[in-house]
Chains A and B, each alone.
Chain A
């Protein structure tokens, strides 16, 4: 008798667990904050939904999607050809959803006379070829190069967009642990140069023109600012209408979703329409 009650209880328990909707997200640490904020908001609005967000890097996000270990993969870059091929072979059909735009302003101390640099000059500064500000039209002062830690998505984007495949960041470069730490180092150090997310640039530092364009929301959208990128979420096939993934991704285009993105410091997708 006791046993049958227990089994009944177990069955009911497992049923309710099944009824609770689950979704797994994995991938980039850059998109992670957006995914987490979305998940938090969504779970608060819809009790009984359980969304877990892992941040294991864009590459792992793609791997996860390929193996069916996650419902949504967060990537701070587009899929590589090799990844696309692997998915095709396995019958996975990746569908791309743009969640936000991101830009990397290059920042210097407010007292710095330099107004702007070209991408090539930024690359030479980071690879250690240019070591003094006077070489790029500034005063005679040694350049203190500050970068994000190599584990950050911001670092990855920067090395991809600026350094490219051949140049590598000089070993003289200082590393700071967060966007805030980079800004703090730059606002304190007269000869410093650094880069940080768009949301972290304020009056205490000076953003430089890159190839003649100041970083701003508009230039990110019309792609005139060269250090900008899209942030993605990938699903296996277009999510079914009414499914949890579809409802979750719909958040991207809502007013609230854009507010969340803006709060984190990225450029929301509706910014273009609002302008």
Chain B
């Protein structure tokens, strides 16, 4: 009878072969991973290589502080200040339009709505992100621009009423409550409270009507302008903001919420005093992602912003056309003379480099804040 002996030691040869395979496997995985990092470095390198000749030839001052963008005239002028302003203006207004509703929607979905409703709502909102940007641009050009042009003032006034009425109502209630709380430590009489609320409501009604009538008197000369682009960009940034901040709110976990309820907090107190601070970093990175989405978007601004290289006067006048960095690069790259290495060619790379640096800084800031928050939560 033969006994099969199970071998538990490896021969030297087998050991060697296994080691080779292990090293090889690690090397392959490492190189695949580094391709991604190398791609980023290569992009930075090639853009910087074509951008630097511009700064060498024309200098920084003209680029950043001159408002005249005449790249094809003789002599050419490459003042990109108006274009930077346009990019920042459109991005800023898109983000401040998109962030409040985005964050509220995230709160609503994560803590207020029933789970079943959320399961339906979230994919629907995320579908906004799946719409190609040229479709948004088409909508801006064919629907929003004529609306702004033909019924611009009325549309703005209606939008103002719809948005501001509930905010004002809540604000006057809260104000009345606050004042009552300050004056009388005990519960104030119903009459005082009602009177105060009415006074605030009347004040806000006056404000609503005043601003509304002023807005409805506005004449919008051209429907493709900064406002149009901002609205569309806000719609495009919304799904990113909602989805990322909702994830951040979910990530806080059950324990935190239950702990808060166990201490006797209401749902509102839990949301505002516990969940919001705990997920602040996540919400902040959602906002940053929204900023980058709006800043980097090209097709929509090319179609909806009017592409006039001017600083609007006054600067918050969103009803004037503006030009953005991305749209300038996209529309002028075709003709900029590559062979002779003209300044016009290099200036577009300089703009690309600025966009790249900006999003790099955004990323860094986001990373830093998330890390700090993590350390704080750990209690260190």
Contact = CB atoms under 8 A, between A and B. Distances in A.
Given A174-B224, A185-B224, A189-B222, A151 B334 contact: yes
Contact of B332 (A56, A60, A151): A151
Contacts of A144: 221-222
Contact of B339 (A60, A156, A175): A60
B332 A174 contact: no
A150 B73 CA distance: 9
A172 B308 contact: yes
Interface in A128-161: 141-142, 144, 149-152, 155-156, 159
B67 A171 contact: yes
B71 interface: yes
Interface residues of A, number: 30
A211 to B, nearest CB: 25
B331 interface: yes
A188 B73 contact: no
A36 interface: no
Contacts of A159: 73
B46 interface: no
Contact of B223 (A56, A60, A151, A189): A189
Question: Which residue among A56, A151, A177, A190 has the maximum number of chain B CB atoms within 10 Å of its CB?
Answer: A151
26 contacts: A56-B339, A57-B335, A57-B337, A60-B337, A142-B219, A144-B221, A149-B307, A149-B332, A150-B72, A151-B335, A156-B72, A159-B73, A168-B70, A168-B73, A171-B67, A171-B68, A171-B69, A172-B310, A172-B320, A172-B321, A174-B321, A175-B308, A175-B331, A184-B141, A188-B145, A188-B146
A201 B320 CA distance: 27
A70 interface: no
Contacts of B68: 171
Interface string B321-351: 1010000000110111101100000000000
A173 B308 contact: yes
Contacts of A264: none
A167 to B, nearest CB: 11
Contacts of B332: 149-151
A72 B313 CA distance: 48
| B interface: dominant SS | loop
B149 interface: yes
A191 to B, nearest CB: 6
Contacts of B224: 174, 185
A24 to B, nearest CB: 14
Interface string B301-321: 010001111100000000011
| A interface: dominant SS | loop
B184 to A, nearest CB: 56
Interface string A175-217: 1110000001100111110000000000000000000000000
B295 interface: no
Interface in A27-70: 29, 56-57, 60
Interface in A208-230: none
A74 B195 CA distance: 80
Contact of A177 (B67, B73, B302): B302
Contacts of A173: 308
A77 B67 CA distance: 30
B308 to A, nearest CB: 5
B292 interface: no
B82 interface: yes
Question: Which residue among B149, B308, B339 has the maximum number of chain A CB atoms within 10 Å of its CB?
Answer: B308
A171 B339 contact: no
Contacts of A175: 306-308, 323, 331
A177 B331 contact: yes
